[in-house]
Structures are given as structure tokens and as C-alpha cells.
Amino acid sequence: MREWLQETHAPGFELLRHFLLRFFDSELITTPGQMTPVLIGTTPFAFQWFFLLLTPLRHKYAYLNSLPTPGPYREAVRADELWLITLMMAVIGLLTAIRWQSLFPDLRDYRILGALPLRARQIFGAKLAALLIVAAAALVAVNLLPSLGFPGISASRWAFESSPGARIRAHAGASLAASSFLFFGLVALQGVLLNLLPPRVFGRITGYLQGCLVAIMLGLVVLSFSVQPQITNVVIQREWARWLPPVWFLGLYQTFSGDPDPAMHTLAHRATMSLLMVVTVALLSHLVSYQRHRTLLVEGMSGRTKDRRWDGTMLGWLVRDPRQQAVLAFMTNTLERSGYHRMILMGYGGLWFAIVLTGLIEMGSLVEHSRLLAADFVYFHLITLLFLLIGARHLFSLPTEWKANWIFQITEREGRSAWLTAMDRFVLLWGAGLTLTIPVPLEFHLLGGRAFAEVGLFVAFGMVAFEWSFSSWDKLPFTCSHLPGKMPTWMIMGFFGLAGSVAALQSLLVSTLFSPARFVVAMALLLPAWAQIRRRRRQGRNEIRLKFDEVPEPAVSGLNLLK
């Protein structure tokens, strides 16, 4: 088999091989094929979430099974089924939205393959086949553990179907159908827009649509864990269920499990018909689009013109140094025009919104009423700061046209300090806008004089966190090639440590606000720490060299793992 694969075969097979091997590659990474070991390495990590839930789920269903009536068990299992269906749909939707440009051949494919004696339908057919193969693998991988584990954990004498095999088939069938519905629905959506919109409008709308989809799917991943029996009982009502696809496939799950409820059978019929419809539209849109897609893509790219409406007057008023002005304009324009960076930014925004929303909803049960408002604002500020710092580092490490970074390399010695100062101003400007300008007026209205203490404490804490998180930063944003999966160990530990200790840190900050002595001590510690870290960081800028190309470490390269 290996020898046969190394040989050259028919055009269709070679095109399929090309698209499969390069499906996850991007011009933003250093070496083609780098994403393969990253995906293999992250797969076990992604599966660990289910094992963390095994013990609490097992205890819950053991208790429900011991009850004398089936009602509580059936309500709980229905809620967990809706949670898992929503979660699986959101994960598949997120993966599809991230690879939005890979659903159809892109401009790079046409540049590579356009000179070969290939027809458009051959390229399109091979791309569709590669897409379906990758999608099938993703659907099976994402749904495998829940489909095998949850039916066993939730087994009970009160279940409609007692056979383990039948319960596994019911879960796998409903979950795969739900995930396939969302995947083909997004493919159909892009295909319909491709055939209806003019080239320039298509490029603009789909760019923002991709970012919105990533934000929505990340938000659904977080919000799915809030599904409880009370919520399930509300959404399965007729006026809600008709608008919620996860509820349709909950009906399919219940029907497969033997639930005699007619409402579940109605929802199952809606789920089946909807799945058939989106699959049909997705395939038809591919068949109709292959003649028009190349022209639309080329015209959409060539039709982009530079927006000159902003002349930088305000930037010149805020920043006098022309080098800082140039870097600030470069960073602003990159975020405005790069769909990839905009998608990442909107994804962080969606995840931030979901975590803030769920945290504020649960805050009333965790904090005494007299401190609830202060705790809400502290939580909002902490989560916003966490996402701002982690998101900024991640976003700045992703390049745009990184092969053109030579213009920065030849002037690095003269501009390095000004460039990094401009980056600091950019982050601090957005940080102040997001964390202070928006919520502070409301905070002063609700908290009164204590709002001054909360703002002062948070500004001091935020400045220390900013200086610490960027203490080892040695890149100009958007100019260095990206090596997938490479992140400093201290950054990974810092992220999980801070994310895991938000509750403890929030409790400490809230208690500090209500104690003048603790407040004075906290400010006396934070301000000198900020000054010390800031001074060391500024002094180190004269000694570092900016990095413009990420490569594997020599010890890793010597192992030839990427060959």
C-alpha cells in the first residue's frame, strides 16, 4: 500500500491527495505540514474534558436511579442529552467556521492548479471529496467518546431503552445527525451566498460572517454547560422548539431511545427533514458554483481598494513620534482588513461574552447580597483583563504577509524601542476602553464612592499583569511567522492558573475593597511591583533582537519529526 501511494495516479486521485495533505495548511505558518503534528498532539488533550465529567455524572445518575419515581431521572437525562447535542454541534460548527475558506477552493489553489490541464469541475470535485473526508473524520472523532461513554454512565432502570447497544446507537445517531446538520448547513450557507451576492459584497460579508460564526460557536460551547432540566423543560415547548435545532435532534434522540411522547416524534421528523434539506442544498450549491467560483474569487480579490477615509489626524494628535504612528496605523489596518485576525478577535469576543454572562448569572448564589454589585464588576474586570492579555499575545503572534517583514528588519535598530512602545499604547488604549470606559459610568452610578477604590485597585492590578505578561515579548505584532502549537510553558501555566483561580482572586479583591487597611496594603504592593517590572522591561529593549521568523528548536529539528 505504501508503495502504491507513492506512485502517481489519475488526476482526481492526485487532486484529492493534494487537498487532503494541505487542508489545514496556511501561508501564515513557517513550514507546510506543521499543522499535522499539532493536530495529533492536541487530540488527546481535547478528549480530556469528558473524563473530567465522568465521576460527577456517575454519582448523579446513581442517585437518580435509586429514587422511587422515574420523573427526576428522565428530566436529568433529557437535559444532559440536550447539553451534549448542543456541545457537539457547537464544536463542529466552530471547526467549520475556522476553516471557512477551505470549504471551497481558494485563490492559492487556483494559482497553483490553474496552469495545469485541469477542468474546474475536477478541482471542485476533488475539493468537495476532501472536505467530506475531513468532515467525516472530525464528526466521528468529536462524537466518539460521548457516544460510547454517556449511554453507559446514564444507564438506569428508568431508561426507555435498557439495551446498551441500542442506547449507544441512539446517542451516536442523534449526535452525528445534529453535527452533520450544522456542518452541511454552514456549507449550504456559503454556497447560497456565493451564488446570490456580487463578488465584492460576497468577500466583505463572508469575512464578517466567519468572525460572527466563530464567536457564536465559542459562546455556545460555554453556554451549553448551563443546560439544566428547568431550561430543557422550557425549550421543548412548542413555541420555542420550532426555532432551536438542538431541540429537534433531542427529539430524534428520544425517539431512537423509545420515548413514546408524540412531541418528541414531531421534533424527530423536523430534524430528519432539516438534515436532508441542508445536505441537498449544500451539494447543489457546489454543483452550481464551480463554473462561477473562480471568477468571483478573482474579482473579489482584485476589487478591494484601499480605504482612505481615515487620514490619521487623530493619531497624529495622540502620538507625536512618527515611528509610533506608523506602527499604530499598521496594527489598526491589519485588524481592520485581515479576515483571519478579525475572526480570531471576534472569537475571543464571543468566548468572553459567554463566560462573563454565565459568571454573572451564577454570582448571586456565591456572594452575599451586600457585596453582589461589587463582585459583579470585579468579575467583569478580571475576565476582560484575562482575555485582553491572552488574546493580544495570541493575535499579535499571527502574521499577515510575513514574507514582507524585511522592511521592518532593515530598520529594526532605529525603530525597535518606538515600535514596542506603540504596541504598549495600543494594548493599553483598548484595555482602558474595554475595561474602564464602558462599565465605569454605570459602576459609579451603582457603587458610589466605592467605585473609585475599585477602579484604582483594578488599574494597579491590571498594569502589573500587563507588564508581566509581555515581559518576554520579542516580536513586532503581525510580522513574525507562526509555528503552530508553540507557546511558552509559563504562558500556558499562567493562563490555566489564572483561569482556575479567578474565583479566589475575585474574592480577595472584593474583600480588599471593603477593608481600608487591606486596600492600602494592596496598593503599596502593586504600585512598586509595577514600577520595578516596567523598568526592567524598558531596559531590556536595548538588548533584545526582534524575532521575525519562528523555527523549531535545534533539539527538536535534529529529531527529524517533521519529515
pLDDT at residue 77 is higher than 50: yes
- The mean pLDDT value for 240-259 works out to 92
Q: What pLDDT, on a 0 to 100 scale, did the predictor assign at position 309?
A: 46
- Residue 228: CB partners within 8 Å, gap ≥ 6? 79
Domain termination residue (choose one: 261, 286, 301): 301
Q: Indicate the pLDDT class of residue 308, thresholds 50, 70 and 90.
A: very low
Let me know if residue 38 belongs to a domain: no
- The mean pLDDT value for 79-99 works out to 92
Find which of 181-185, 198-202, 448-452 is predicted with most confidence, using mean pLDDT. Answer: 181-185
Long-range CB contact pairs, 298-305, < 8 A, 24+: 298/107, 298/110, 299/199, 299/200, 300/199, 300/200, 300/202, 300/203, 301/107, 301/203, 303/199, 303/200, 303/203, 304/200, 304/203
Chain-centre distance for alpha carbon 558: 33
- Structural domain of residue 398, as residue ranges? 325-553
The DSSP-derived string for 356-383 is HHHHHHHHTTTS-GGGHHHHHHHHHHHH
Let me know if residue 526 belongs to a domain: yes
The whole-chain average pLDDT of the chain stands at 81
- Residues 526, 455 share a domain: yes
Backbone angles phi, psi at 29, to 5 degrees: -100, 170
DSSP 312: S
Q: Indicate the pLDDT class of residue 180, thresholds 50, 70 and 90.
A: very high
Q: What pLDDT, on a 0 to 100 scale, did the predictor assign at position 523?
A: 93
pLDDT at residue 306 is higher than 50: no
Q: What pLDDT, on a 0 to 100 scale, did the predictor assign at position 278?
A: 94
Where is average pLDDT lowest: 9-23, 306-320, 369-383? Answer: 306-320
pLDDT at residue 231 is higher than 70: yes
- Residues 417, 455 share a domain: yes
Helix axes 412-432, 450-469, angle to 10 degrees: 150
The residue that leads in pLDDT, 5 or 65, is 65
- Residues 499, 376 share a domain: yes
Cα distances from 258 to residues 171, 173, 270, 512, in angstroms, run 12, 14, 17, 56
The residue that leads in pLDDT, 502 or 272, is 272
Q: What pLDDT, on a 0 to 100 scale, did the predictor assign at position 305?
A: 46
How many CA atoms are closer than 13 Å to the CA of 452, on its beta-carbon side? 3
Let me know if residue 519 belongs to a domain: yes
- Residues 371, 330 share a domain: yes
Let me know if residue 410 belongs to a domain: yes
- Residues 285, 160 share a domain: yes
Residue of 33, 17, 19, 23 lying closest to 485 (CA atoms): 33
Let me know if residue 295 belongs to a domain: yes
Let me know if residue 17 belongs to a domain: no
Q: What pLDDT, on a 0 to 100 scale, did the predictor assign at position 310?
A: 47
pLDDT in tens, 16-46: 887 777 776 655 554 555 555 555 555 555 5
- Residues 264, 366 share a domain: no
- Residue 414: CB partners within 8 Å, gap ≥ 6? 323
Let me know if residue 26 belongs to a domain: no
- Residues 452, 520 share a domain: yes
Total domains, the chain: 2
- Residues 351, 268 share a domain: no
- Residues 544, 417 share a domain: yes
pLDDT at residue 415 is higher than 90: no
Where is average pLDDT lowest: 42-56, 62-76, 250-264, 496-510? Answer: 42-56
- The mean pLDDT value for 202-224 works out to 86
- Residues 197, 59 share a domain: yes
- The mean pLDDT value for 401-417 works out to 82
- Residues 342, 241 share a domain: no
d(CA 422, CA 420): 5
- Residues 124, 229 share a domain: yes
Helix axes 450-469, 440-447, angle to 10 degrees: 140
Amino acid identity of 121?
R
pLDDT at residue 3 is higher than 70: no
Instruction: Tell me if residue 488 falls in helix, strand or coil.
Output: coil
CB–CB of 289/221 below 8 Å? no
- The mean pLDDT value for 281-299 works out to 70
Q: What pLDDT, on a 0 to 100 scale, did the predictor assign at position 428?
A: 86
Match 472523532 to its residue by C-alpha cell.
141
The residue that leads in pLDDT, 223 or 313, is 223
- pLDDT-above-90 percentage for the chain: 24
Where is average pLDDT lowest: 364-378, 430-444, 522-536? Answer: 430-444
- The mean pLDDT value for 291-314 works out to 54
Let me know if residue 36 belongs to a domain: no
Q: What pLDDT, on a 0 to 100 scale, did the predictor assign at position 312?
A: 57
pLDDT at residue 490 is higher than 50: no
pLDDT at residue 311 is higher than 80: no
